[in-house]
Amino acid sequence: MRTIVTKFGGTSLADAGQFRKVKGILDADPDRRIVVASAPGKRFPEDIKVTDLLIKCYMKASAGQEYQEILAEIRSRFQEIIDELELDFSLEEHFSYIQQVLEERPNREFMESRGEYLNSQILAAYLGFTFVDPEWCVCFDENGVFDSELTSRTLAAALKPLKSAVVAGFYGADRRGSIHTFSRGGSDITGSLCAQAIDADLYENWTDVSGLLAADPRIVERPRSVDYLTYRELRTLSYMGASVLHSDAVLPVSKKGIPINIRNTNHPEDAGTMIVKKLPADRERAVITGVTGKTGMCVLQVEKVMVSDEAGFSAVMLDILKQRGIPFEQCLTGIDTVSIVIGSDVFNANKVVLLDEIRRTLKPDLLSVKENLSMIAVVGEAENGYKNATVKIVQAVTDAGIEISTINQGAGELNLLIGVAEDRYQDAVQAIYSSISKHGNSRVRVV
Ligand code: ASP
């Protein structure tokens, strides 16, 4: 018997109608035995996710403000599901405990996690599956640092004996029982951890789109869908802004080569996108997998004549960032320059200290900051069939009259990062995509 771990996102479990669809999907394949659930998401575009309501409720409670109205709204979201599915499940005890915590010791992560905690119990009751609380098997240390080794062992011990289970996504706990959450969208990570722990054959991630698109449909008109891509490509695309899967969800399954299948709960007949270690040998695919990116970036440029001769100049630069715990996106080194691409919010929060320390330690000839930039990522298997891909892509951007601030080209497969002004971001993505469609949309046989 195969084992499929299925994760259902917030929109897939937003109301009773969606719960019914989930049951239909699970009934269609008995191998779908382990389910990871998110909190109820948006039912319609203007709706509010339960997790956001929980955070709002916590904020009010911790500021000593009235929070009963929001708490009642949260409760009614769950009660509606229970009533419509005619389940014998009482929220009474759970909500009086939440209220007690809010009164006595409001805790953000505890509160944030209650959406998954309750939704998973309701789903388990509806399906007749065992509820598994990740408080006991997704392990963090007291500082909130995730412990992957321990989690793998405890999750395996918890799940392997069960015929079927619903695991709450998004959170775990430390040894003292304090709740810790992953970053937003983190139920994807829980799903991946479960698949890894029990050596699943497949990790299905059910959401509200039929897989990954080659570009953002808000920017590019009707982009093509991606049927197959590698873990590496997905990691770059999702880190750079493609929002189909949490970027940290790839690592656990990729360790064991378990494929991920992105599926649509509202269209289960669609095959979705398969994410694999290596593309199957007999498949044809487009040479460019996707183009994505993010805004809100800046480049810190440090210039000093003879930098390249000065051993360790870039190492010192990176050490300054490390010492201050400042994460950066890219480090580009030239003959006499080191350029650090960094998120504007991170940079602005550390601006004064950082610039001061660079001046003192490195005594640069020039220290400049370019702000309001965006970074565009283009990934694919260009060398297979799209010759001179980088040249053609760069040409497309410059032909559109857009100035390029930075270019970072990895070796091997096409993994190109291009920095342009934020206000030209969409134009640049469109120019790149249409160039790809002209030259690089041809399909090649993967060998
Ligand atoms: N409910 C959480 C969020 O809205 C986690 C998740 O859905 O994966 O971010």
DSSP 116-166: HHHHHHHHHHHHTPEEE-TTTTSBB-TTS-B-HHHHHHHHHHHHTT-SSEE
φ/ψ (deg, to 5) at 191: -60, -45
Which ligand 1 atom is at minimum distance from the Cα of 115?
Answer: 1
Give the pLDDT band of residue 197 (cuts 50, 70, 90). Answer: very high
> pLDDT digits over 134-143, tens only?
999 999 999 9
Mutate to test the pocket of ligand 1, among 36, 56, 170 (most ligand atoms within 8 A of CB): 170
Residue 224's pLDDT is 86
Query: Is 123 in contact with 79 (CB distance < 8 Å)?
Result: no
Q: Ligand 1 centroid to 187 CA: how many Å? A: 6
Least confident of 73-77, 219-223, 280-284, 330-334: 280-284
Q: Ligand 1 centroid to 374 CA: how many Å? A: 26
Which ligand 1 atom is at minimum distance from the Cα of 10?
Answer: 7
> pLDDT digits over 89-107, tens only?
999 999 999 999 999 999 9
Which ligand 1 atom is at minimum distance from the Cα of 116?
Answer: 1
Residue 447's pLDDT is 38
Q: What is the pLDDT averaged over residues 25-47?
A: 98
The percent helix, strand, coil of the chain (3-state, each to 5) is 40, 25, 35
Q: Ligand 1 centroid to 290 CA: how many Å? A: 25
- Does the pLDDT at position 436 exceed 90? no
Q: Ligand 1 centroid to 185 CA: how many Å? A: 4
Q: What is the pLDDT averaged over residues 342-362?
A: 93
Residue 445's pLDDT is 45
Residue 360's pLDDT is 93
Give the pLDDT band of residue 240 (cuts 50, 70, 90). Answer: confident
Which ligand 1 atom is at minimum distance from the Cα of 38?
Answer: 7
Class of residue 1 by CB neighbours under 10 A (exposed 0-12, middle 13-18, buried 19+): exposed
Q: Where are the alpha helices (DSSP H) in 174-230?
A: 187-197
Q: Per mean pLDDT, which of 105-109, 315-319, 386-390 is the most reliable?
A: 105-109
Q: Ligand 1 centroid to 47 CA: how many Å? A: 15
Q: What is the pLDDT averaged over residues 50-75?
A: 97
Q: Ligand 1 centroid to 180 CA: how many Å? A: 13
This prediction has a pTM of 0.83
Grouping H, G, I as helix, E, B as strand and the rest as coil, residue 59 is helix
- Does the pLDDT at position 48 exceed 90? yes
Residue 247's pLDDT is 82
Q: Per mean pLDDT, which of 247-251, 294-298, 324-328 is the most reliable?
A: 294-298
- CA distances to 61, 100, 101, 112, 443 from 104, rounded to whole Å, are 10, 6, 5, 17, 61
Residue 289's pLDDT is 86
- Does the pLDDT at position 381 exceed 70? no
Which ligand 1 atom is at minimum distance from the Cα of 170?
Answer: 5
Which residue in 122, 114, 120 sits closest to 87, CA to CA?
122
For atom 8 of ligand 1, which residue has the closest CA? 185
- Does the pLDDT at position 382 exceed 70? no
Q: Ligand 1 centroid to 337 CA: how many Å? A: 41
Q: Ligand 1 centroid to 67 CA: how many Å? A: 21
| Element (DSSP H or E) covering residue 387 | none
| Element (DSSP H or E) covering residue 241 | none
Query: Is 35 in contact with 195 (CB distance < 8 Å)?
Result: no
Q: What is the pLDDT averaged over residues 288-315?
A: 83
- Does the pLDDT at position 444 exceed 50? no
Q: Which residues line ligand 1 (CB under 6 A)?
A: 9-10, 38-39, 49, 51, 115, 169-170, 184-187
